[in-house]
Amino acid sequence: MAVGIFDSGLGGLTVLDATQKRLPDVDFLYFGDNAHAPYGVRTADDIFNLTQTAIHRLWEDGVDLTILACNTASAAALRRIQEGGLPPGKRVLGVFVPLIEALTERNWGDNSPPREVAVQHVALFATPATVASRAFQRELAFRAIGVDVEAQACGGVVDAIEEGDMILAEALVRSHVDALWRKMPKPQAAVLGCTHYPLMADVFQDALGPDVKVFSQANLVAESLADYLRRHPGMTGQGQSGFLTTGNPRKVSDRATQFLRRRIEFRAA
């Protein structure tokens, strides 16, 4: 039984790569909605409709557990999808919770009341839609109190990464970090709230300086998935993977191959 990993574009490949390394016996099916990327500038309704369509496509291929490896989709669509009711045996999970649990040093499944934590000043770098949703702050409030979050919308970064223009992406990251500094001069931690951003993690760290701890998602999500599968056995397979895209399969395959530095072959969704 394959685990589905969904992203608006190629950023979710960072999550796929980490989960495949952590769980080599699990089958994965990746869905990239490249024809409609990026999601970060779309309306909440548009994001919900596109995300729901992708999830249904994954269900058609037998996926029971889908990870929204897209922070924008997790922020704008996940709660609505879950509250709308899912078919029996189907689960849809987001990527915010593992990140927040690491930030607040809470164990997976810790449902105790929110409490004070060591990190009090947090910079959030995310897409405009994720920032507007305030989903990160909402989920954080369930687990911690007294944390000051300053969100910086990083317009253009995802587009540059998707186009393979890493020089432009680096320039944009440094510009957005400068903008964050003007609002929060002394963050203790920085959250990379987009699965594209691990590709620029070194740039974020360099721009922020060595005293700021940078939290990225791929390995955290992989570890959380491993814990989930320990508690819900029966999803191991043969370590196979498949790739679906709404975009041009050849173009997306070439770009994905550059991302992961191994040959990736997408097929039309």
What positions carry a catalytic annotation? Answer: 70, 194
Decide the pairing of beta strands 189-192 and 91-93: unpaired
Chain centroid to CA 267: 22
Q: Are 169 and 200 in contact (CB under 8 A)?
A: yes
Angle at 143 between CA 142 and CA 146, to 5 degrees: 95
Dihedral angle sign, alpha carbons of residues 49, 130, 14, 34: positive
Q: Which long-range contacts link 161-170 to residues 24+ away (Cβ below 8 Å)?
A: 161/10, 161/11, 161/196, 161/199, 161/200, 162/9, 162/10, 162/34, 162/37, 162/38, 162/196, 162/255, 164/255, 164/258, 166/199, 166/200, 169/199, 169/200, 169/203, 170/200, 170/203
121-126, strands of its sheet edge to edge: 148-153, 121-126, 189-192, 213-215
Q: Are 164 and 258 in contact (CB under 8 A)?
A: yes
246, amino acid identity:
T
CB atoms within 10 A of CB 200: 25
| Token reading at 253 | 């395959």
